[in-house]
Each structure stands twice: as C-alpha cells, then as structure tokens.
Structure 1
Amino acid sequence: MQHPTVRRAGAMIAGALALSLTVAGCSTDAEEPAAGASSSSGADSSSVAQSVDEPSLEFAGPNGEVPGTLEELTLTENEAASIADGGYTAAFVWHTSSEFVDAVEKGATDQLAELGVEVVASTEAAFDAATQANNVESVMALDPDIVIGIAADPTSAAQSFQPIVDAGKQLVIMTTPPAGYSAGDQFVSIVTESLTDAGRANAELLGDAVGGEGKVAYLFHDADFWFTNQRDQAFKDWLAHSYPDLEIVAEEGFTDEARTEEIAAALLLKNPDITGIYVPWATAAQGVLAAVKAAGRTDVAIVTNDLDTTLAADMAAGGNIVGLVGNGSLDIGRGLAIAGAYGLLDKEAPALVASPPVKVTADNLSEGWLADYGVEPPASVQAG
C-alpha cells in the first residue's frame, strides 16, 4: 500500500506573500469579555510610550506557552503509515462560520485526507455557548478519534468540551482553549496565527499607505483576550519603531463590533486631520469603512486583519481599505490536522505553534487570497 505524502504545514504560503514565521483571525473569533473583565490592551494603550527600539517578535499563548513554528509539526513515513492504517475519523467544533473558518477547515480536511483520516462532522455555534455544547454532544455521538475545535466561550467550554477529554479523544485547539485546559493534558496543541508579525504587517501597510507621516487612529479590542491584545499592541509597537513621524492621536476601544461605525464617526469628527485607521479585525472594520464613507473621507486609509469579501472589494476598487492581513488559514488547518495525528501517535507536540500571516494589498489581492484561502477571490472582489 502506498501511503499518503505528508506536507509540512506552512508550505503553501511562501516567498513574497509570507512574512517571518514567528507572528491569528482571528479574526472575528475573539470572545467578548465577562462583565467587569479588564482590558490589557486598553490599559496599556494610553500609558505605553512609543519607543524607537525594535520591538520583539515574541508573544505568549493563553497559558504562557512559547510559540513554535508550523515547520516543527512533521511526521515520518512510518508515522504517516500508522495513521493511514488506523481507520481514524475526525470532526470539527467551530465557534462560528466565516471565510476564515472555511479556509482553515479546507486546510485541515485536505491534510487529514492525505493521512487517510475521514471527516465525519463539522459544526458551528454562531458564538453561542449553549449551541456549542449541543454540537459537542452531536459530534461525540459519532465517536471521532480527533476533535478540532475552538471555544466559543472559554469558561463554559471547560464543561462542554469535557466529554471529549473524558472519552480520550485527541482534542486540538485553534487559538482559544477552554479555561483551565492545558497542552499535553486536556488537548494536544494550539495552532494559531503569529500575532506579533501580524501587528507588524498592519503597521507596515498603514505606514506605507500614508507616506510614513501624519496622524492616525488606533482602534483596539477592549477585552482581556490574549490573542487580540498582543496583536493590537504589536501594531502600536511596530508603528512607533518603523514610522516615527506617524502619530497615533486617537485611541478607542470596543467590545461590540456592531459599535465600530458609531465609534469611528465620532472619532473622525473630533480628529478631522486623521488619514489612517487601524482596526483589529475585518467585521469590525466594516463599520469603520461605513463611517469613513459616510463622512466623505476618501483620504483615510484603513488596515485590518482577516481577508473579507466586502473589504477586499473596496480595496480592489481603490477605496479606503489599503491592506488586509490574512492568517495563513490553510496552513493553520494543516497544522491542526498534523497535531491531531501527533495525539493519535502519543507523540509530544509543541504546546503552541504559529502560522505566518499573509500581507495583502490591491497589487497582490488575487495571489494573497489564493494563498490564504485556497480559492480565487469572489467575483465581486475581482470586479473591483
């Protein structure tokens, strides 16, 4: 029997589209905080002085994990053969549905197929914890060997994901584990985006778009959430380092992405000399884009994370969106699949691995979309 070829995670995003390998999506997968939760990003945003020193590309996982690269996840031919001969199955337990999630699932499904693992279920919870708990029950009724998931709410997921752990299944996490879970115990590994490289990519996109000088605004996720906090702060740090003549004159936090249009409208009225805005993720940026257009501000450049059809169409048409940072979505999926194989083999995996982001502008939109999502951009984007 000829066994499947095992691809190294990270192989598809190479060359000019890839940044350094120590960077998310998340992206819209950021959870809202519990009542009274503090904001590490918001607390630091007004007090951290801009520094000319080169920022560190290091970041930490939710339990202080030190990230490795996707290239660390490899299987030998014998290990791949063992998986292929095992008749294993896998299932997905997602927090929501999106173009990003679809691309991650495609990367994971392709890699699982190469390993001879059958996908038996895929669920999404629309960010509802109760729905996700029900989804876990439905998935577990199919008795998968690998469960790839992300907590819609870390606190409640500690209980709802417990049947996966109790059944001895191989749980692999995209970005957000249930509260109290740790790698090597309840789950195999976390696979996510390299946060600091994503922050740097956003800074470069915005800095270059506004000519390296002037005044810009910084929107941040005002919640105690490890993923967005560190990515947002990395944007600030790299902007200060790489573009010392660019000044952040307005900083506004949010927890509800539905309020970003209102926030941006007020921000523009108060700061009419702004020519650039950073937004943490794409669906939040849609509101900012609407506010900028309503104000008739064709001179304001917007950058954000995640590839999004609405924003990409605006960018392709020469609008306000000047840059999008993709998560390396296909490679995140491949990494999740290989980590699942590690669990089946009882092979120790890195606690956290990170995918390099994809920096996308109008000039490389088609190539970037294909690299990150594995498909051509939608017709509405290409028509821009």
Structure 2
Amino acid sequence: MTNNRFFSRTAWLASSVLILIFGSSSHAIAETEGPNGEKAVPYTNISLTAKQQAEAREKNLKAAILMHSTSDWSNALIAGAKDTFSKLNIEIVAVTDAEFNANKQKTDVETALVRKPDIIISLVVDPVSGAAAFRPAIEQGTKLVLISNLPSGFEHGKDYAGIVTDDLFQMGRIAADLIAEAVDGSGNVGFIHHEADYYVTNQRDQATLSNLKRFYPDINVVAKRGIANAHDGEVIASAMITQNPNLKAIYAPWDSIAEGVVAATRAAGRKDIKVITMDLGAANALDMAKNRNVSGIVTDLPYELGETLARMGTLAKLGEYTPPFVTVGASAVTRDNLISAWENALKRPAPKSVYRALSK
C-alpha cells in the first residue's frame, strides 16, 4: 500500500497517539490512544446481536464507501464492508476513489448524498476541507464512520460514530522483531523513514526505531534517510548501500518503497541485504517467495477493518452506542506463513506466481 492512505498529523489527521509508559519492568508498555485520549477498543468487541441484525435488515438501509485511494489494502477493506452490509440487507449505493484529492473527495460526497445513504464509511483526505465536505452528510442524518483520520472540529457521537484504525505501536514492534530476526540480533542496518507529516507512517517508523533501540541494542542504525516520494526508494537505497557496504538489512516504510529498495539490492548484486517493510503487496510477496531479499512484512487486517466499520455504522444508525476509537491488530509475514498471512489479511488467494515460487 502506498502513502495514499496516510495523512497529516498537524491538524489531528492522526486518529491515535502512541504512549510509552515505562514501569518497573524491563519492558515498555505501549498503548494506542485516540485523538482525545480515548482508550482503544479491540475490533473484536464490535458486534450486533441477533435482534439488532434483524432490525437492520428490516430498515432497508443504504451505505456509501468513499475511499481515499485504490490499493490491495483498500480493496480488502471494501470487500469486508460490502460482505457485512450484504448480510444486513444494506444496499451499497456508491463506492468511490478520491485519488487522494480533497476536491475530488468533496465531489464524491456530493454525488453520494444524492442517493441519500444512511451510512458513510470514509478516510477523509484533508481534515479542514473534509470537515466542510462531510458536514452536509451529517446534517442529512447520515452516520459517518471514519478510517483513521479525524476531520477538524468533529465531535464523537455528534458528528461521527467512531474511528477505526491500526494498532500502530504493535506494527512497529513487529517490524523491529523482523529486522532483528533478519540480522540475527546484531549488525548494521539502514532505515528509510517517511519524511512528511503523515501520522500513520510517522508513528509506525518511530515505533520501529524505539523498539529497535530498547530491545535490540546490538543492532546499529548506521544509515537513516527520509523519503517523500515513493518512487525514490531505489535511489535512496542505492546510496545507502554504496556508502555503507556492511549493511545487513534495510527497513522501508511501505511496500512500494520496498520494491525500490529490492531493485537497488539487485543492481548492487547484494542478495545478502534483507528488506523489511509494512503492508502486503504482490511484488514483495513474490520476492519473499523466491527467497531473495524481502524477509519480513508487517500486515494489518483490512478486511476485518471493513467489517468493523460497517458494523459501527449500522449500530449507530440503530441508535446504539459506538465507541469513539477502535483498533485492528497486525501480524508478521515471513516466507513460512506467506500464503496463510496473505489470505488472512486480504481474504483472497495469493497470486499464482507466489504459489509457484514457494513450490520450488
């Protein structure tokens, strides 16, 4: 997944804050809190009773899914939402892609509102303009459920039913563990971080670094570079490798950047440099299956995220309480569990090329 689902933290585009509390134990306690300090509720806690499901089916509700971009991740989320709505007899009246453009998202909202949806699921591209763009939906009585991003000035229960996002600290901790596994617990590594005010990537990167420092003191981050354009991954990684020939691994903040890092390792003839990244993608999965450079990937659960969003919207429309902040977990992907992890996260078969590579 590219940075298209990420957003600026400067105006609380972020929907969560990482809190590190160091107690008397040797381990850090990590919590992901909501924008107003809300305690995260596990997505598994969000469900409808049989009575609520029956009530929803009788209402013939309508829903719109207004996405910020298109990707494997977005497609899996949409599938989860669609499947849940279908079981509840809720008609999908619109599925849109804003192409990470706030103006287009405003148009998408206006177009969707013509169909009078009872529920809208969306990741708001810009918190300021998005607050104005979605205001007519709220005034129309539509229940808004947010993916990760909180529009400026919105109040829980009044303007939106809740936020659903990833457990960002967990993702960073898993990434640190995968880096440590790739280098056998010690050695020099390169670290590419997202050099922009995008909260999700910033916090995942920072959580990875903090966990490396705390739990793996024998791993040295000897090269650290920021990246703003995902297409620059190969150039940045090539410079890292040239300047630090003793690198054992490189971390990339998401999958398309990792593809560039892999290209750099191949160009340098460095099959020994391992690549660790966030988010499943076909190219990196194939590289992992071929036992080349990609050794570890952190994935979340976009399908379950979609299911949760749909349930939250339905509950809100039924007049039930919905928590302000809900998180979905993450897991580690290695060559050993690649197929099961892919299918568990994206709820579809892995590419045939991956199957073939694993069978060799």
Structure 2-normalised TM-score?
A: 0.90
- Return structure 1 stretches of 4+ with deviation > 6 angstroms: none
Greater mean alpha carbon deviation, residues 88-97 or residues 354-363:
354-363
Shift of 1:55: 2.7
Deviation per residue, 1:245-295 (Å, 9 max, x gap) = 111112212222222222222222222111111111112222222222222
Q: Aligned ranges for residues 310-329 of structure 1 at < 5 Å?
A: 310-329=283-302
Secondary structure of the 2:225 match is strand
Q: Tell me the residue number matched to 1:255.
A: 228
C-alpha deviation, 1:377, in angstroms: 0.5
**Any conservation in 1 of the 2:2–2:230 contact (CA below 8 Å)?**
no
Residue 7 of structure 2 aligns with which residue? 31
Map 1:83-232; keep pairs closer than 5 Å: 83-232=56-205
Is the counterpart of residue 380 in structure 1 residue 353 in structure 2?
A: yes
Deviates more, 1:224-233 or 1:372-381: 224-233
Cα separation, partners in 2 of 1:125 and 1:334, compared to 1, 3 Å: same
Return 199-208 or 73-82, whichever deviates more: 73-82
Do the aligned partners of 1:151 and 1:177 also contact (CA within 8 Å) in 2? yes
Q: CA shift at 1:140, angstroms?
A: 1.0
Aligned to 2:321: 348
Identical-pair percentage: 35
Instruction: Return 5+ residue gaps in structure 2 as ranges.
Output: 15-24
Does 2:261 correspond to 1:284? no
Distance across 2 between alignment mates of 1:190 and 1:33 = 15
Task: Give the equivalent residue in structure 2 for 1:13.
Answer: none
CA distance in 2, matches of 1:251, 1:57: 24
Q: Secondary structure at the match of 2:322?
A: coil
Deviation larger for 205-214 or 112-121: 112-121
Alignment-derived partner of residue 300 in structure 1: 273
Q: Which amino acid aligns with 2:356?
A: A
Q: 1:33 and 1:347, CA in 2 relative to 1: closer, same or farther beyond 3 A?
A: closer
Quote how far apart the aligned CAs of 1:28 are: 4.3
Return 60-69 or 126-135, whichever deviates more.
Answer: 60-69
- State the TM-score, normalizing by the size of structure 1: 0.85
- Contact 2:237 2:264 (C-alpha < 8 Å) held by counterparts: yes
Q: 1:275 maps to what in 2?
A: 248
The verdict on how the C-alpha distance between 1:263 and 1:155 changes in structure 2, with shifts beyond 3 A counting, is: farther
Shift of 1:143: 0.8
Deviation, structure 1 residue 223: 2.5
SS at structure 1 position matched to 2:32: coil
1:264 & 1:92 partners in 2: Cα distance? Answer: 37
Secondary structure in structure 2 of the residue aligned to 1:383? helix
Aligned-pair CA distance for 1:63: 4.5
Contact 1:129/1:156 (8 A) holds in 2: yes
Whether the 8 Å CA contact 1:53–1:241 is kept in 2: the answer is: no
- Cα-Cα RMSD: 2.0
CA contact (8 A) 1:181 1:187 kept: yes
- Give the equivalent residue in structure 1 for 2:239: 266
CA shift digits 1:120-143 (9 cap, x unpaired): 210001111121111111111111
Paired AA for residue 174 in structure 2 = A
Cα distance, 1:152–1:91 mapped onto 2, change above 3 Å: same
Deviation at 1:27, TM superposition (A): 5.8
In structure 2, give the amino acid aligned to 1:243. Answer: Y
Provide closer, same or farther for how the CA distance between residues 108 and 26 of structure 1 changes in structure 2, counting only shifts above 3 A.
farther
CA–CA distance in 1 between the matches of 2:88 and 2:182?
43
Q: For 1:209-254, what per-residue CA distance to the aligned partner results, in whole angstroms no more than 9, with x for missing partners?
A: 1111101122222223332222212111222233221111122122
Name 2:21's counterpart in structure 1.
none
Counterpart-to-counterpart distance in 2, 1:235 and 1:253: 14
Amino acid at match of 1:127: F
The 8 Å contact of residues 28 and 281 in structure 1, kept in 2 or not, is answered as no
1:14 alignment partner in structure 2: none
Whole-Å Cα distance in 1 between the matches of residues 8 and 356 of structure 2?
35
Q: Is the 8 A contact 1:329 1:372 kept in 2?
A: yes
Amino acid at match of 1:301: K
How far apart are the structure 1 equivalents of 2:157 and 2:229?
A: 34
CA–CA distance in structure 2, aligned partners of residues 201 and 79 of structure 1:
37
SS in 1 for 2:164: strand
Matched, 1:334 2:307: yes
More strand by share: 2
Q: Deviations over 1:191-221 (max 9, x none)?
A: 1111111111111111111111101122222
Distance in 2 (CA, whole Å) between partners of 1:132 and 1:231 is 26
The residue correspondences of 1:17-96 to structure 2 (distance < 5 A) are 28-31=4-7, 53-96=26-69
Amino acid at match of 2:7: E
How many residue pairs match? The answer is: 345
Q: Which amino acid aligns with 2:351?
A: P
Find the residue that maps to 1:179 and give its secondary structure.
coil
Q: Residues 236 and 103 (structure 1 numbering): CA distance in 2 closer, same or farther, change over 3 Å?
A: same
Q: CA deviation at 1:106?
A: 0.8
Distance (Å, rounded) in 2 between the aligned partners of 1:252 and 1:355 = 29
Q: What's the counterpart of residue 49 of structure 1? A: none
Contact 2:7 2:200 in 1 (8 A): no
Give the letter aligned to residue 191 of structure 1.
V
